[in-house]
Amino acid sequence: MQGRLGGCGQWWWKDNEYRSGRRWAADFGNLSMALKINLLQVKEYGVVAEIKQDIAHITGLTNCMNGQLVHFEGGSTGVIVGFDGTYELAMIVKEGAKIKPGDRLHSSIESCTVPVGDEFLGRVVNGLAEPTDGRGPVKTTRRYPIFGSAPSVLERTPLKEALETGVKILDMMNPVGKGQRQLILGDRVTGKTTIATDTILNQKGKGVVCIYCCIGKSEASLNRVMELFRANDTLQYSIVVAATAASSVGQQYLAPYVAASLGEYFMNERQKDVFVVFDDLTKHAWVYRQMSLLLERSPGRDAYPGDIFYLHSQLVERACKLRPERGGGSMTFFPIVETVQGDVTGYIPTNIISMTDGQLYVSTPLFTEGFKPAIDIGLSVSRIGSKVQWPAMRKLAGILRLEYIQFKELEKLTRIKAGVSETVERRLRKGRVVAEILKQEKNAPVPVEEQVIVLHALASGFMDHLNPEQVHAYSRGLIDRIRRERPDLIQNLIHEKDINESIKEGLHEQLTAYGRGAI
């Protein structure tokens, strides 16, 4: 059975009995019944008129829609991304044989969806969710739309639970809530990716599904992250979506949306907490600019198209904390943006700052001084505030941020003076101790309970006589002693998330026994 569709299409029956004609007469008079039992598949054929890098100009697909898949005869796959007066425009997302003018293709009634499921945990996939780790195909029957809609306001609930990052300066001064969108921005090679990967390492055993999305970065950068994940047994609760610089423009464009769709499955169907890192959205914006110029769309500021804001806003709005009636799952985003010479007023940085719930600014001067992670407290902010922190952390770190900022200003002023008073010297010494507490080695996340114990020791005056170079050894020794002598204190602190009288007495007993200022 064949029928014309739009002058260039065909209707194909998938059922063999229909092809042979044995059941033709019985059901010919009732075509609606055949449609209801889903035996009909519509295909429309077209021809490639022109190819510009990863954009194909097509004629003949008079009934296609935006987001519809097209399949080329050489094995390539594309997605309809636009139209002009003469052509339909398709972006190549999966490359087969080289496409050339005159090649035939067909479209089908398939929307742009991606397979999802528990089977993706521990796997490395490309920008189309196809496995690239050599472990065979991912067997799953569920599919989610790549460009899914963000949950409505009525489906969301306020953020009240902290995502424990293990990065001390974040957990103490810029807490992150489950369901938050926290931007990380800074110049290249300043430790932005390390902050995100440390957060992934810290989710081990916490029931959080982590997705690392690599967009437009080098293979060497991806390999370093993969080595870190394998060394720390991180892949058991993680998924890596990799569209490196060697991948097609289409896959680099789709990769963050595919990562969000994979996360939405765990949030919606499994009621889990999901953490997604987009590394980085600057490369994603570059790819979209390249696509738009090939599509001959009018360029705007910095040659970006006019809809560049919508490109990222439709992505980051998918992060949320769902209401208990919807399962109570959450999805937290850490988008990463690269700046040039510390310019946070650039087009892409300001766009994404305006659509996220806070930003962490990674400073090149701090990085070169050896302060790592090099987060500039003065330029960083979390719009969620301290309401997601542990009550104990909220009490101890409440004025820590202000004291630290005042210390940095005082330090700048005293650099140009020959001598300072004894009072100023005491403030400077305490500020340097706080700075040492905030410093942290990479790939070594610190549990929140250990952070609380160290801050309690600082607030109680047990660290007043330490020199800055003694802080690390003192903190490590104190934690080791408490874990050895009183592990129940740590368990009670994790359970209560606050320092009650019993915990306070136990901590003071251990602090006194360890020795005031001992190393």
Catalytically annotated residues: 383
Q: Mind giving me the DSSP string for 120-179? A: GTT-EE-TTS-B-SSS------EEEETTPPPPPGGGB----SB---S-HHHHHHS--BTT
CA atoms within 13 A on the CB side of 3: 8
Write out the two tokens for 400.
């820590």
Rounded to 5 degrees, what are φ and ψ at 239? -130, 140
H/E run at residue 40: strand 40-52
- Pairing of the two strands 9-13 and 320-321: unpaired
Give yes or no for a contact between 477 and 518, defined as CB atoms under 8 angstroms apart: yes
Three-class secondary structure of residue 6 per DSSP: coil
Q: Residue for token digits 């890098």?
A: 53
Rounded to 5 degrees, what are φ and ψ at 253? -70, -40
Write out the two tokens for 470.
């003694």
The closest of 360, 386, 384 to 374, measured between CA atoms, is 360
Rounding to the nearest 10 degrees, give the CA dihedral for residues 283, 286, 288, 293.
-160
Write out the two tokens for 325.
């009636």
* DSSP-derived secondary structure letter, 305: B
Peptide bond preceding 280: is omega within 30 degrees of 0, i.e. cis? yes
* DSSP-derived secondary structure letter, 322: B
How far is the C-alpha of 364 from the C-alpha of 477, rounded, in Å?
32
How far is the C-alpha of 260 from the C-alpha of 277, rounded, in Å?
10
Residue 344 CA to its chain's centroid (Å): 20
The closest of 456, 458, 433, 447 to 494, measured between CA atoms, is 447
Measured over the CA atoms of residue 460, residue 464, residue 466 and residue 470, the dihedral's sign is: positive
How far is the C-alpha of 256 from the C-alpha of 261, rounded, in Å?
9
Give yes or no for a contact between 478 and 490, defined as CB atoms under 8 angstroms apart: no
H/E run at residue 312: helix 308-316
Write out the two tokens for 175.
């807490």
